[in-house]
Amino acid sequence: MTAGAPHAERHGAAHAGLRNAPAPDGRSGPASVCILGAAGDTTNLGVDALLESTIIGLRRALPGVELTVFDNGLGHRPGRIDTPDGAIHFDRLGMRSSKRIHRTESLANMAVSARVGFPSNPGVRRLREADVVVDLSGGDSFSDIYGRRRFDAITRQKAVTLQIGTPLVLLPQTYGPFGSERSRAVASRLVRRAAVAWARDTVSFESLRILLDDDFDEARHRLGVDVAFALPSRPPSRLDPGVTAWLDDDGPVFGLNVSGLLANDDRSDRSFGLRENYADAVRRVLRRILDETDARVLLVPHVLSDLWVVESDVAACRRFAQEFDAHDGDRVAVLEDVRQAQEVKWVIGRCDAFCGTRMHSTIAALSTHTPSLAMAYSPKTRGVFESCGQGHRVVDLRADDIASIEHQVMSLWNDRESVVEELHTLVPPVVTRATLPFAQLGALLGSATR
């Protein structure tokens, strides 16, 4: 940036819906993009899938782009992801809700620095120097369904970026639901000020349209799909020999993701408005598969928290495996020691059919042409499945009883061969659509060097 050049002037062209590349500022070198809302340092493989898809998509669209991922850590650190095409390196900087406002990672510290320029904050400086900031909101956290604390953290990140003046692009994500008028008003202000906002399904697109009201602009507000559809898969660096044998031989394998969020605490049935007990539903599905098919069941965790954490899918999967061990231990196993989103996607893609509650576990299945059924506890999942023509493969845990869930699972299993044929036709265009936001950014920012 030339000395004294106003930041808003530099980004003026980009703010006009990113219709044009940012105005030249006298710098040379690679484009710079910051990534919010997908920290990549949690135990949630769905968030990892979003981050890795975004990094890969940006690097393919802008081969020399400088990437900064804001995460929950402290200070500046190197980052790396491995892909089938080799490693991608990037920078990590902390950004977190914290009462320790003297820390530069504190959102409160960053907000003051963004507003008045003091204290000097390296995160704010990086955001100010970026050509664009892209935001994912964890896929579905631009909502107050998970509580006010998470909603405030997600929205304050966006507010700091907008305060600085760097163009903010909301990558495909869910908008809402919002339980309070306060949350809705905050979300409405933020999406109106974003340079571009993508929704990841038709339901979210309609929510976005409502939030924008008269400010809706079809040039800036787009319908897309979840970027994790484009996540590549790669074989695990280590895999249990027993699971390897299952995937390599001719016997069928049924993959099942169990949500620790729902299975480990019976109070979740009430808090999420489920019609029946989630653990009982999983138990009955397992029993039907084992009794009525010759399939082995591979339990696939997608949130890898420590066993004592209530959201741990690992704890939930182990508990069900132990419960069925006495009579069916040779047919039930837990996917252990595979902790990378791309590697878990590869395993899911080797299953003959898949049922999951964590939505990104089912995206891994759909995008590898694996017949999939979702056990959904919120509206977000149906829209994602509808983007692949599979909306009828979603059971609503808030409305459907266990008998209906069992029926749907068995229907998927019995129809799996025809479903594979459907997915081979329906999914490739969806994967292509998942790359469109990055292609757009690549075209608008120009070549990797300016």
Instruction: Give the domains, in start order, of the chain with CATH numbers.
Output: 7-224 (3.40.50), 241-431 (3.40.50.2000)
pLDDT at 1: 35
**Among the ranges given (65-74, 175-184, 277-286, 438-447), the one the predictor scored with the smallest mean pLDDT:** 438-447
**Predicted local confidence at residue 107, as pLDDT:** 87
pLDDT recorded at residue 2: 35
pLDDT at 17: 54
| CA pair distance 97, 182, nearest whole angstrom | 19
Report the range of poorest mean pLDDT among 25-39, 208-222, 240-254, 411-425.
Answer: 25-39
Report the pLDDT value the prediction gives residue 379, as an integer from 0 to 100: 82
Order of strands across the sheet that contains 332-334: 332-334, 296-299, 253-256, 353-356, 372-376, 394-396
pLDDT surpasses 60 at 8:
no
CA atoms of 309 and 305, how far apart (whole Å): 6
Arithmetic mean of pLDDT, 72-89: 94
How far apart are alpha carbons 354 and 154 in whole angstroms? Answer: 31
Please choose, from the candidates 168, 161, 160, 165, the residue with its C-alpha nearest in 3D space to the C-alpha of residue 112: 160
Specify the 3-state DSSP secondary structure of 234: coil
Which one has a higher pLDDT value, 24 or 329?
Answer: 329
Six token digits for residue 88: 């991608």
The predicted structure's pLDDT at residue 12: 41
Model confidence pLDDT, tens digit, residues 130-184: 999 999 999 999 999 888 888 999 999 999 999 999 999 999 999 998 999 999 9
Length of the chain equals 450
pLDDT of residue 432: 97
Q: How confident is the model at residue 13 (pLDDT cuts 50, 70, 90)?
A: very low
Distance from C-alpha of 210 to C-alpha of 203, rounded to nearest angstrom:
11
- The pLDDT value recorded for residue 204 is 92
Q: Using one digit for the tens of pLDDT, what is the confidence trace for 60-76? A: 999 999 999 999 999 89
Nearest residue to 69 (alpha-carbon basis) of 46, 44, 88, 45: 88
**pLDDT classification of 435: cutoffs 50, 70, 90:** very high
Give pLDDT, residue 380: 83
